[in-house]
């Protein structure tokens, strides 16, 4: 079975590669191979149940399947080069922005119309932040919400299903480079393609490292971000989130000179669990439908960790901390900020006294037994800094869930076209280590599809 293009992975980058190829030429024969399920079959078996620990499904429905981990996100697309990846270093600053704007147009056309486009270029908020040594990063933010995000993906699937062959529940076992293309061995059959696009996302980090090692493609160790998810009454951040929605705020700590940042802000949202290689970590969602709104806002506080020789496995470092949290709490831990700074373990009694009602059924505990002191000191200092622009952030009842870990794939050695040293083999999206966001991952797919389309 021969194809013009084979795409491994049906996440954001893979989907937009397939979509743009159909726009370039409907006659191009495309195969998309996905380890997980179709969108309508994706459901975590412990979702909605009072089970805190992962039951370790063979294929995780939260991160695998059509739409990738982005389908279970809150559908936030940041149009910016200031964060979310380094795509502009490969394709150019303006080209990267143009690609992200194109992705936004497609999403709006596919069911996202009506979603507000926010801008963080708010001089008043930026000035207030700067006066307190906080730095607000500029971006345009399109928030679709978890509910509308699934509608968009469903519509894209309906558009693609008759134009592209999609194999679900199929694992790619091996790849071989040939003179006229590539041979792909899967759990179901063998395939051949002239061009091969690796779009496996974060969940495919170990797999893509193995493939690169086999093919002699260099990879460079990346960073890992470790932190907590903060949950507090929505009113505390309402003056910020109602105006700019997603505020990316960066702070350099006085004690260690480490960088701490806010990430994935979810106004009126809920805290959720996330499975990464069988390890339970924490994340957040928010919805476009006001009926699904909660009384709380949540966001992550993350400390970036970059390692030098001789240590190289940054992801394993992050996983070990998350495993410790799972060991102590059977899943995700939650602690009141007041208890943390006083050195007290939060228990069921103390949690019940909190004025902030938790949206996630997590285990009360002590984060100081899990998160290393340096990172925890950074997080506490950041909370006090945020309290100056959002009074109430450092309240005793503010909830901290741990741990939140953001893993980054090792950077694959690529040229400006996101092509490896093996001609015809491309790596893109979060799986390549180049992007870390839905918008940039999708944009990388459009970029590669246009290059392949022209060649074909």
State the CATH number of the domain containing residue 94.
3.50.50.60
Residue 454, pLDDT score: 96
In order of 8, 181, 449, the CA distances from 18 in angstroms are 11, 18, 7
With a cut of 90, say whether residue 52 has pLDDT above it: no
Instruction: Indicate whether 244 and 268 sit together in one domain.
Output: yes
Is the pLDDT reported for residue 50 higher than 90?
Answer: no
DSSP state of 419: B
pTM listed for this prediction? 0.88
For the segment 153-181, the average pLDDT, to the nearest whole number, is 96
65 and 148: one domain? yes
Tens of pLDDT, residue by residue over 266-308, are: 999 999 988 776 788 999 999 888 999 999 999 999 998 877 7
Indicate whether 128 belongs to any domain.
Answer: no
Let me know whether 213 and 329 are in one domain.
no
pLDDT of residue 315: 78
d(CA 420, CA 243): 42
Q: CB of 315 within 8 A of CB of 205?
A: yes
What Cα–Cα distance (Å) separates residue 425 from each residue in 91, 199, 419, 422, 432? 17, 11, 6, 6, 12
User: In this structure, are 306 and 229 located in the same domain?
Assistant: yes
Does 196 share its domain with 237? Answer: no
pLDDT given at position 23: 97
Per-residue confidence band for 420, with pLDDT thresholds at 50, 70 and 90: very high
Please check the confidence at residue 49 and state whether its pLDDT lies above 70: no
Q: What is the dihedral of CA 328, 280, 430, 34, to 10 degrees?
A: 150
pLDDT, averaged across the chain: 92
Q: In angstroms, what CA-CA distances link 285 with 96, 293, 300, 434?
A: 26, 10, 12, 24
Residue-wise pLDDT tens digits, 112-137 = 999 999 988 776 888 999 999 999 99
Q: How many angstroms separate the most distant Cα atoms in the chain?
A: 68
| 401 — pLDDT class (breaks 50, 70, 90) | very high
Domain shared by 366 and 249, yes or no: yes
Mean pLDDT, to the nearest integer, of 194-203?
93
> Which residue, among 450, 439, 370, has the nearest Cα to 13 in the 3D structure?
439
Give whole-number Cα distances, 363 to 56, 101, 342, in Å.
19, 41, 19
Q: 340 and 206: one domain?
A: no
In this structure, the number of other CB atoms found within 10 A of the CB of residue 392 comes to 14
- As a residue count, the chain comes to 456
pLDDT given for residue 51 in this prediction = 61
How many domains, the chain? 2
**pLDDT > 90? residue 355:** yes
| 164 and 95 Cβ atoms separated by less than 8 Å | no
- Tell whether the model's pLDDT for residue 72 goes beyond 70: yes
**309 and 388 belong to one structural domain:** yes
Cα 453 to Cα 94, 416, 440, distances in angstroms: 21, 17, 20
Q: What percentage of residues in the chain have a pLDDT greater than 70?
A: 97
390 lies in a domain? yes
**DSSP label at residue 343:** T
Q: Do 283 and 233 fall within a single domain? A: yes
Kindly state the percentage of the chain with pLDDT values over 90: 77
Q: How far is residue 344's CA from residue 349's CA, in Å, rounded to a whole number?
A: 12
pLDDT tens, position by position, 320-333: 999 999 999 888 99
131 is a domain residue: no
Q: Which of these three, 389, 407, 425, is where a domain ends?
A: 407
Pair (179, 82) in one structural domain: yes
170-183 pLDDT per residue, tens: 999 999 999 999 99
Q: What domain range is 165 assigned to?
A: 2-116+140-220+410-455
Question: How crowded is residue 257: how many other Cβ atoms within 10 Å of its Cβ?
Answer: 8
Instruction: Let me know: does 125 contact 240? Beta carbons within 8 Å.
Output: yes
Query: Does 123 reside within a domain?
Result: no
Tell me, what's the pLDDT at 55?
72
Specify whether 234 is located in the same domain as 94: no
Please state, in angstroms and rounded to a whole number, the distance separating the CA atoms of residues 159 and 231.
38
Give domain status of residue 254, yes or no.
yes
pLDDT of residue 349: 96
In a domain, 132, yes or no: no
On whether both 448 and 328 belong to a single domain, the answer is no
Q: Could you check whether the bond before residue 403 is cis, i.e. omega within 30 degrees of 0?
A: yes
Does residue 122 lie within any of the structural domains? Answer: no
For the chain, the helix, strand and coil percentages under 3-state DSSP, each to the nearest 5: 35, 25, 40
């Amino acid at each position: 079975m021969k194809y013009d293009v084979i795409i491994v992975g049906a996440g954001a980058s893979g989907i937009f590669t397939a979509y743009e190829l159909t726009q370039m030429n409907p006659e191009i024969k495309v195969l998309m191979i996905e380890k997980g399920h179709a969108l309508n079959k994706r459901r975590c078996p412990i979702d909605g149940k009072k089970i805190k620990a992962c039951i370790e499904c063979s294929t995780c429905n939260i991160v695998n399947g059509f739409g990738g981990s982005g389908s279970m996100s809150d559908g936030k697309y940041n149009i910016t080069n200031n964060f979310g990846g380094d795509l502009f270093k490969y394709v150019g600053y303006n080209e990267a922005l143009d690609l992200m704007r194109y992705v936004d147009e497609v999403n709006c056309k596919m069911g996202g119309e009506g979603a507000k486009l926010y801008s963080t270029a708010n001089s008043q908020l930026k000035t207030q932040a700067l006066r307190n040594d906080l730095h607000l990063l500029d971006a345009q933010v399109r928030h679709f919400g978890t509910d509308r995000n699934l509608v968009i993906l469903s519509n894209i699937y309906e558009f693609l299903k008759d134009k592209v062959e999609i194999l679900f529940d199929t694992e790619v076992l091996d790849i071989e480079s040939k003179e006229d293309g590539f041979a792909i061995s899967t759990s179901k059959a063998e395939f051949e393609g002239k061009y091969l696009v690796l779009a496996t996302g974060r969940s495919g980090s170990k797999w893509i490292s193995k493939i690169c090692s086999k093919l002699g493609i260099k990879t460079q160790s990346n960073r890992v971000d470790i932190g907590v998810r903060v949950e507090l009454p929505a009113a505390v951040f309402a003056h910020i989130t109602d105006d700019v929605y997603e505020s990316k705020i960066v702070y350099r700590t006085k004690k260690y000179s480490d960088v701490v940042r806010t990430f994935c802000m979810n106004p009126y949202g809920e805290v959720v669990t996330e499975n990464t290689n069988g390890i339970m970590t924490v994340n957040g969602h928010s919805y476009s439908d006001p009926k699904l709104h909660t009384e709380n806002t949540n966001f992550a506080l993350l400390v970036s960790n970059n390692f030098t020789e001789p240590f190289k496995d940054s992801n394993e470092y992050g996983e070990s901390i998350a495993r410790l949290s799972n060991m102590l709490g059977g899943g995700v831990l939650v602690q009141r900020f007041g208890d943390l700074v006083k050195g007290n373990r939060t228990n069921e009694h103390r949690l019940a006294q909190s004025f902030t009602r938790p949206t996630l059924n997590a285990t009360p505990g002590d984060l100081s037994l899990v998160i290393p002191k340096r990172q925890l000191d950074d997080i506490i200092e950041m909370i006090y800094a945020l309290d100056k622009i959002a009074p109430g952030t450092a309240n005793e009842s503010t909830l901290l869930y741990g741990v939140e870990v953001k893993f980054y794939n090792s950077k694959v050695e690529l040229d400006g076209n996101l092509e490896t040293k093996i001609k015809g083999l491309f790596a893109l999206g979060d799986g390549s280590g180049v992007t870390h966001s839905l918008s940039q991952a999708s944009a990388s797919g459009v970029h590669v599809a246009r290059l392949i389309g022209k060649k074909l």
